Structure 1
Amino acid sequence: MSNTSIDSPPGCAASPRPADEHLDSPSAIVWVLSIAGITAALMQTLVVPLIGDLPVLLDTTASNAAWVITATLLTAAVATPVSGRLGDMYGKRRMMLFCAGALILGSLVCALAAGVVPMIVGRGLQGVGMGMIPLGISAMRDLLPAEKLGTSIALMSASMGVGGALGLPIAALVAENLNWRALFWGSTGLAVLIFVLILTLIPATEVVGRDEETFDFVGAVGLGVGLVALLLGVSKGADWGWSSTTTVGLLIGSVVVLIGWGWFELRQQDPLVDLRVTARPVVLLTNLASLVVGFSMYAQSLIIPQIMQLPAVTGYGLGLSMLEMGLWMAPGGLMMMLMSPLGAKLSHAKGPKVTLAFGAFLVALGYLAAALMMGAAWTLLIAVCIVSSGIGFAYGAMPALIMGSVPISETASANSFNTLTRSIGTSFSAAVVGVVLAQMSTTLGGYSIPTEAGFRTGLLIGAGVALLATLIAMAIPTRASLEAEANIEHEVSASAH
């Protein structure tokens, strides 16, 4: 394989590679990109085992230490659509290398951090690495033969959930047996490996666009400000108070900024996000379903680990350690990976709309099973595997729906926007589940803990939201229905003339 440049120059014509075009190692491309996605997603749960110890480790307050997690989520939300647009303009591999470089730098800063400020900066840089997931999905459309595309995209898309699920037991194992800095030295080494693999094994992708095309800096800033205000208000509202001036101001401000951003984007020749494309029925409903599925996916990771770790004296807690809990949760990540190829086959046979609806319905069944079987780790494991299987089906179908409905010149930005909607869903999930568990709590040993009814309510909410995602997925129009609608519009127009 010869890569004389990182990416082809802007302005080159490009089209999807034909099915009979042979690459040196398409399997290597799939696995490198999937591992890159899993590595980026690992950063989301990397510090979870350290949450209780961070104030002492960094000599700061608990509220300041919480920003170590929040910073990653915020930068990932802002950087993902920006990196997607830049990938469409300047090449997806180039931007994946940039994201991997940010991940390396962020991990190094965290490993060497002596206080909370450099740790927050490092964690923010790690969040930039999330851009590798939608970029990798879009690069597959450019690099892989058609017969491998569906399965490969499903595997890459599932990496977002796989990394988060596997990160918990790995981080817990390291945190309990080694110095906490080993987590970040390990992530540094992994990020360096990913950078080298992308550089050596991923071919340059052709760039579709005009030579005079420009990056929408104003749109990027506007979207960033709106998202930061929204996600801050949602994620910190419980701590600051939902009726506090800060929370209300952030939420209202985010709505105002995002409306203004949308107005601005519709008037740009080269917008950051082409809202006319995202308004297409298939894209719009897929993104809405992604938001709802993101909500339902994250709810289980907030509820079930707590049930497993609460003392058995509560009558419903299982009294497991962090490491034991992580090991019981880990099969969920493996189920996502195992189900993604099956989801691709179902999409090929019945269409990705059916796969998305089926996956969301499985998630609902898993939550109902968890609500009915809270009494033992093995029963919760069954529920986790059902939910994770559903996520594997759903996440693999989303990019297939998106890329089948957007021009090839906008695949990276469209996939990035879809990934963003999932992230917004997880943020809302954290807020809603947090409020439910806080309101339905009791006191044990001087500490406030959620009640059994609170956990069950949270699980039932997860089931209800997943059923809503099923209904949204079923409403996504098929190609046949879109063609029929277009024909009707044409006939109406012709009769009017």
Structure 2
Amino acid sequence: MTTNQRPRGGTGLVLVLGLAAMVVSMMQTLVVPILGIIQNDLGTTTSGVSWVTTATLLSAAVFTPLLGRFGDMHGKKPTLIGVLVVMVAGSVLAATTSSLVLLIVGRVLQGAATAIFPLALSVLREEIPPQKLHGAMALVSGTLAFGSGLALVGAGLLTQGSHPDYHRVFWLAVILAVLALVAVIVVVPASRTKTGGRTDWFGAATLAAFLVLLLLPISQGHEWGWSSGRTIGLFVAAVLMAGVWVLVERKVAAPMVDMRMFAHRPVLFTNLAGLLLGFAMFSQFIGVSYLVQMPDELTGYGFSASVLRASVEYLLPTTLVSLVAAPLGGLLVGRIGARFTLAAGAAFGVLGFAWLTGAHDSTSSVILAGMLIGAAISFGYAAMPALIVASVPHHQTGIANGINSISRSVGSAIASAVITSLLASKVLSGLPKGVPPLPAESQFTLSFALAGIAFVLVVGVALVGLSSDRVRSRVTSSAPAESAESAESAESALERA
């Protein structure tokens, strides 16, 4: 039996790729509950410890599109294995060091793991029959939200007690990364197709520079000051570098990112939806986590919850609903189309944040609103890969989904910066001496309202922005495309309904 004649993958492959994707999302939120512990243990400043999260974000921005394209060219399985080996190394380094510099290096290595998600979707497109593809992608995508919540719970559990040790959290990352590595080696088949060709290193370098220049001031602006020369200068440099990147990609013979694909309407608006969805999701994680930990005897609001209680009682239901809703999202993609699934999910998000905005004074309201938001996130994650896969040639699947992953990361970074700045901009007066500044309740209300507006915009993107391209109800055939397949062939696939 030849490579192209072998049986297509099944449930085992989907579960393994789902595990790998879950580990990816855990790397993003794993350190959120333990930043204070790391700061105290390493004797660093708030600005210093913030690089533990910023380093991962910047690493993901640099490596995700590059490795997504590398997998398309040279094979998904070896690229997946290589990325997982790097993540294991980074996790071991983070788990064994007590140096801030080495911890940041470990987080940089962990950030490369973000490339696993677009690579996993590329494998699914090759190995899963077309009639089952949308459901498989929805299940793998659903593990992203579940992994983010699971990381918060795991970090809370592992740092309980009078002597919390952040190293335990990174050992958890080591164990899960090794499990994912072994599973990928055993279960994931070799790629059916490889486009080959030369890597566009100049295009990769200019894209990486643009993303770093953009994300660095977004993630550090609240520390540096939004009007500081450093922040404004980096934003200006990012705009200039974006122009350089576009110029490079239009001139080279084999660009890393085909500008026609990048500007293709379904891809462009799906990436916009990804940015908005990333903003809303992270707003819920950060906003609810901070809200429920507020000492109600001092502030008049909040629930005086511990980090563990905040994760288990208030955030875990959101992640569980996300996991349960994932297969339903895949079913809806097949029945009503990816565009309407995205719109339906965003409508749930609007309702959830409207509830949080107007009534966050009871445990039941916070939990039930979060569950609506969890369903919204899952439906969005189910729809976006389907929109991308239906819009690009086979050999561009990895890079296209990589860019979409980066759009969600940018949205999350913006949410972190905006929510942090909002909470710090208006604090309560008359607090007892020695109590750190605590945000006014109105700042949480405004944060939830902004996230709700983001979901309103997603509804508009789905129903208006994507309407003229008649995005297919079902994902297009996943038969391998020739490397010479053009962007026009992807457009013609969209037109066949």
Tell me if both proteins adopt one fold, taking TM over 0.5 as the criterion: yes
The TM-score with structure 2 as length reference comes to 0.90
Percent identity between the aligned chains?
34
1:262 and 1:275 in contact (8 A); partners too:
yes
Confirm or deny that 1:319 pairs with 2:304.
yes
Aligned to 1:455: 444
Confirm or deny that 1:277 pairs with 2:261.
yes
- Counterpart CA distance in 2 for 1:284 and 1:407 is 15
Return the match for 2:100 from 116, 134, 138: 116
Q: Deviations over 1:430-449 (max 9, x none)?
A: 22222222223224344222
- Counterpart CA distance in 2 for 1:179 and 1:431 is 27
The TM-score with structure 1 as length reference comes to 0.90
Aligned to 1:427: 413
**Offset of residue 383 of structure 1:** 0.8
Q: Deviations over 1:196-217 (max 9, x none)?
A: 11001110112342x5x21011
Aligned to 2:189: 203
Aligned to 1:489: none
- Counterpart CA distance in 2 for 1:97 and 1:156 is 18
Aligned to 1:61: 45
Aligned to 1:407: 393
Aligned to 1:332: 318
Q: Deviations over 1:252-287 (max 9, x none)?
A: 111111111011111222111112112111111111
Return the match for 1:477 from 445, 448, 467: 467
State the one-letter code of the partner of 2:442. Answer: A
2:337 and 2:471 in contact (8 A); partners too:
no
**Offset of residue 481 of structure 1:** 8.2
SS in 2 for 1:288: helix
- Counterpart CA distance in 1 for 2:192 and 2:116 is 17
1:22 and 1:145 in contact (8 A); partners too:
no
Return the match for 1:352 from 338, 345, 350: 338
From the superposition, tell whether residues 22 and 324 of structure 1 become closer, same or farther in structure 2 (CA, over 3 Å): same
- Counterpart CA distance in 2 for 1:179 and 1:453 is 34
- Counterpart CA distance in 2 for 1:269 and 1:399 is 27
**Offset of residue 480 of structure 1:** 4.5
Q: Deviations over 1:166-201 (max 9, x none)?
A: 110111100115632121122112211111110011
Aligned to 1:495: none
1:172-191 matched pairs, under 5 angstroms: 172-177=156-161, 179-191=165-177
1:202-241 matched pairs, under 5 angstroms: 202-209=188-195, 211=196, 213-241=197-225
1:126-275 matched pairs, under 5 angstroms: 126-177=110-161, 179-209=165-195, 211=196, 213-275=197-259
**Offset of residue 158 of structure 1:** 2.2
1:158 and 1:395 in contact (8 A); partners too:
yes
State the one-letter code of the partner of 2:393. Answer: P
1:48 and 1:168 in contact (8 A); partners too:
yes
- Counterpart CA distance in 2 for 1:478 and 1:152 is 27
Aligned to 2:495: none
Q: List runs of 5+ in structure 2 lacking aligned partners.
A: 473-487, 489-497
Aligned to 1:395: 381
Aligned to 1:307: 291
RMSD of aligned C-alpha atoms?
2.0
- Counterpart CA distance in 2 for 1:221 and 1:263 is 13
- Counterpart CA distance in 1 for 2:338 and 2:201 is 34
- Counterpart CA distance in 2 for 1:279 and 1:61 is 42
- Counterpart CA distance in 1 for 2:105 and 2:170 is 13
1:281 and 1:477 in contact (8 A); partners too:
no
SS in 1 for 2:251: coil
- Counterpart CA distance in 1 for 2:31 and 2:157 is 12
Aligned to 2:76: 92
From the superposition, tell whether residues 173 and 264 of structure 1 become closer, same or farther in structure 2 (CA, over 3 Å): same
Aligned to 2:476: none
2:338 and 2:471 in contact (8 A); partners too:
no
State the one-letter code of the partner of 1:320. Answer: A
Q: Deviations over 1:225-276 (max 9, x none)?
A: 1111111101111110111111111111111111110111112221111121
Q: Deviations over 1:108-144 (max 9, x none)?
A: 1111112100000001111111111111011101011
